[in-house]
Structure 1
């Protein structure tokens, strides 16, 4: 049965939060606030937080900046995962991935389907690995951020979660770069 192994010590991670929106400000960024509160509540560190416009190059540049920052382990974004012309977050994320984590989207949609039914089909939530960092792109609603964090990320970003988690393989994400 999956769960927390209390014989292991918790390892706090440094997490950056990116809100992708042409209209939100720090004062109106409720989805970013949800993620920030949950990151702190789980014992992790909010390493940085930014609001960027729905522009593939701007999103990509922010990702590349955080990927290059040795103080950041994880990037979580909210917004820009829909189907409209301005929704380009998945394209920006996929342009920097070394590997995509297809199961993240599958699990997110299963969880979302239980809450919003077939409307989940309009989300293009995605996750991947880039230069030893995990990147997660969630939809822009507070509910989607709660679901993504509470049902997936809180577990996979906790090294005590069994039978396995993302944290324990974090040091091995760049093995292919070291071999060559």
Structure 2
């Protein structure tokens, strides 16, 4: 029997999940639960999971801790991306990026438009990289998290997806 080569092995990413919401807790965080289950079902590891208030400084603190950790390859946030003045996620996260993945938000809104029509215009999503850690910000609705995971992130976190993916860069990092 032929043994697997490094290229044949699927890279299991360590992904942290941050729910950003002022009133959710572990019992009511359906979006965080969905993402944790989706990450695990896809062969990745949930490196950490937390809920923080919709406050730009609380968000930055939690993300900064994970960005500095060698145990986290990627972070998925959910919540705080809407059009209300209180929503702080995008303003909190964007200054942390070394590189923004502009196409992520554009692609998310295209899928969102196909799903919910012109309301997709308000589907703010953001992607980027900080200290070699991928960060993706999704809206807080579980349906939006499902859309972002199933249409974009699941495939891009799969080291076998061709012609390119985000996971392959982490194959030799560990």
TM-score by length of 1: 0.89
Residues in 1 aligned to 2:8 and 2:127: alpha-carbon distance in whole angstroms: 26
Three-state SS of the structure 2 residue aligned to 1:134 is strand
5+ unaligned residues in a row in structure 1: which ranges?
Answer: 1-6, 173-180
C-alpha distance after superposition, 1:59-110 (max 9, x if no partner)? 0010100001110000000000001011110111101000100000011011
C-alpha distance after superposition, 1:135-171 (max 9, x if no partner)? 0000000000000000100010011001110112347
Partner of 1:31: 31
C-alpha distance after superposition, 1:35-64 (max 9, x if no partner)? 011000001000100000000000001010
1:40 to 1:94, Cα distance in 2 relative to 1, 3 A: same
Partner of 1:175: none
Residues in 1 aligned to 2:171 and 2:103: alpha-carbon distance in whole angstroms: 20
Partner of 2:158: 158
Give yes or no for contact 1:13–1:44 (8 Å, CA) kept in 2: yes
Matched positions, count: 167
5+ unaligned residues in a row in structure 2: which ranges?
Answer: 1-6
Partner of 1:42: 42
Task: Give the aligned CA root-mean-square deviation in angstroms.
Answer: 1.5
Residues in 2 aligned to 1:43 and 1:170: alpha-carbon distance in whole angstroms: 15
In the TM superposition, residue 124 of structure 1 has moved relative to its aligned partner by 1.6
TM-score by length of 2: 0.92
Residues in 1 aligned to 2:117 and 2:142: alpha-carbon distance in whole angstroms: 17
